[in-house]
A and B are shown apart, each in its own frame.
Chain A
């Protein structure tokens, strides 16, 4: 245990942000805790929040375990993270604007052309098009892990449609309902401004042709989608329509929404469907989820699509390696948040190193997500390691490897009482007229003892994330 940073205990001493929680847990007898846990579960069930986080698939009706022990940051810690996250979000957007334009970063030899232009997520169809305010990724989810008091690493960037923000909001809501006293005693920064901030962000990127208060809608693939709850939840909170492709049509250079009072012009679409399903005329011709002709309207400036089609080229795991370079290239700044050292198996030297050190490394697929298709060397069996060796040999370009990070732990309620469990953090950065970040995010926790995989599909849970006010 001692080689992992414990966010609450520094040896026998309680770290400052957790000072108040020490007494809170002591004063909570086991029966009360069990009762509260059951109450939390019942609340989650009643709300109906049962979905998998970002693209993880799995049973859409399964409840993700909620751990009542909050994860806490001081204002000082948060400010530092916030600066780093905003810096990264700015650089990622500058990169997208660049590679769909002149591609200066490629011309300058900072990123190989192949990684950008032959990337599956690179959409030739949007080259030369400048979206409103030049922003491609309006909601950037940045996955962070911590390994020490001042050591944070970015695990990955999510520039398309990162999900899980409804958990951030619901976790807080439920904690406040169950433990109102805790929130009276501590000054905790609120997160409930997220919906307003999101609405503001979306409205600020309305197309130039929109000359009134913009009409916004969330485009969902439908109720069978694992994140449907979040789509409808956000639509409700923002007071905007939740639509499916069949509710929309294009005419005269605009997108229209069918309503009981006749067609209504739509200005901003917060889409929660993948690029390839957006428009059968431009992408997959067999897609029934999108809107035929949508991309022509988008490219002629009649509607804004968030995140912009093509934004995915900034967040794959091969491009990730170059984000620090992007920060230097576009912003002329040094990265405030560190990347995890990454080996590209597509490079001969890197591949050699990876194959020689498989038992120590974490190996991931370049386009994988959700903790599937991933090897955690130190936890893997010999067979699993050999299996990965073959996969890497077969298609080296499809794999990257990273050292196994000593993820920090926070106290977590488990069967036997309270025990340290590994956590990560996904804050949601909004990029529009302003760059905003609500103080908090989604903390995911690996509930299995010793596990470093926090994905809900692999037995992970969620926690409320606190940022203490000064």
Chain B
């Protein structure tokens, strides 16, 4: 598939800020399932800083905006050709050891309920791959998709207790479950082309990757009960949502921040 992305994030401040600095992880990953046709990232009125590929294979770019700043707009536009790899992150170059992803974070804290969910789901699984699929299914069943009930700081344990949540909560819960079984897992941010009626739509998305011995990293989208395919664009990864955030930013000053995001994905007719 060829997917066209238009993703605009605007931060507004009710009082001018002294300056703003951002660290962007907004570039399509390089692996066998994705090829970037063209891609532009720009911060309006900003100065581009250092750019590098980190140990997890993600391209990161720093930006800064001189004050006074009352608005920061990050615009992403481009085209990516995707191939369905059934979630397997093949051909992705990275140096981080998968064992580094056994680390606990606040968002992926394992409580008794998550531990039990993981243990029960894994029972009777024949191999690592089946175990991963079962974990993903268990999380999908335990947390019903419902927007608006959780927030940015909801933890995996809280979402499971609630039994409802969005893709971020599914991903956190799946990471926690995998880690409960000492299987490395991580958070992935990206886009999902979810409608094929030709209309642009909200498409920022997140899922989890689980380390499967003998194969490597495999994506699992518990929110949609599937593995990422040609409709997915992978941007970057991390321990949890905060760590993998496509945009990390800070503005110095006393103003209050408000945020507006629009993500539009279209499939190009071939």
Contacts and interface: CB of A to CB of B under 8 A. Distances in A.
A353 interface: no
A250 interface: yes
A133 to B, nearest CB: 18
B60 interface: yes
Contacts of B15: none
Nearest to B243: A124
B249 A128 contact: no
B64 A293 contact: yes
Interface in A84-135: 100-103, 106, 113-114, 116-118, 122, 124-129
A393 B254 CA distance: 48
B96 interface: yes
A130 to B, nearest CB: 10
Contacts of B242: 285
Contact of B23 (A103, A251, A296): A296
Given A253-B50, A300-B62, A124 B239 contact: yes
Given A106-B97, A292-B21, A296-B62, A253 B102 contact: no
Contacts of A292: 21, 250, 252
Given A250-B49, A280-B250, A297-B50, A124 B56 contact: yes
A113 B99 contact: yes
B96 A124 contact: yes
Contact of A124 (B19, B55, B248): B55
Given A250-B21, A299-B54, A300-B62, A122 B100 contact: yes
Contacts of B62: 250, 253, 293, 296-297, 300
Contacts of A114: 99, 102
A171 B6 CA distance: 64
Q: How large is the interface on A (under 10, 10 to 19, 20 to 34, 35 or more residues)?
A: 35 or more
Contacts of B100: 117-118, 122, 124, 127
Given A127-B55, A253-B50, A300-B62, A118 B99 contact: yes
Nearest to B98: A117
B95 interface: yes
A290 to B, nearest CB: 10
Contact of B95 (A102, A249, A282): A102
Contact of A281 (B47, B53, B103, B249): B249
Interface in B81-110: 94-97, 99-100, 102-103
B50 to A, nearest CB: 3
B11 to A, nearest CB: 14
Nearest to A291: B21
Interface in A295-319: 295-297, 299-302
A100 B99 contact: no
A90 B54 CA distance: 25
B207 to A, nearest CB: 19
B48 interface: yes
Contacts of B97: 103, 106, 113, 116-117, 127
Contacts of A252: 47-49, 64
Contacts of A129: 52, 54-55
B239 A128 contact: no
Nearest to A299: B52
B262 interface: no
B51 interface: yes
B99 A128 contact: no
A281 B96 contact: no
A219 to B, nearest CB: 17
- In terms of DSSP, what is the predominant structure of the interface of chain A? loop
Contacts of B94: 128
B54 A118 contact: no
Contacts of B61: 296
A118 B96 CA distance: 12
Contact of A128 (B50, B51, B54, B248): B54
Contacts of B55: 100, 124-129
A127 to B, nearest CB: 3
A114 to B, nearest CB: 7
A460 B50 CA distance: 46
Contacts of B99: 106, 113-114, 116-118
A396 B96 CA distance: 28
B49 to A, nearest CB: 5
A128 B95 contact: yes
Given A118-B99, A250-B64, A253-B49, A127 B54 contact: yes
A250 B21 CA distance: 8
A297 B66 CA distance: 17
A266 B53 CA distance: 23
B142 to A, nearest CB: 26
A171 to B, nearest CB: 42
Q: Which of B21, B22, B62 has the most CB of A within 10 A?
A: B62
Given A126-B55, A282-B23, A302 B50 contact: yes
A301 B248 contact: no
Contacts of B248: 281-282
Nearest to B248: A281
Contacts of A297: 49-50, 62
A296 B50 contact: yes
B23 A281 contact: yes
Interface string B236-262: 000100100000111010000000000
Given A116-B97, A295-B23, 10 more contacts: A101-B95, A127-B55, A129-B54, A282-B23, A282-B248, A292-B21, A292-B250, A297-B49, A299-B54, A300-B52
Interface of A: 100-103, 106, 113-114, 116-118, 122, 124-129, 249-254, 280-282, 285, 292-293, 295-297, 299-302
15 contacts: A106-B97, A106-B99, A113-B99, A118-B102, A124-B103, A128-B96, A129-B55, A249-B64, A253-B49, A254-B49, A295-B23, A296-B50, A296-B52, A296-B62, A297-B50
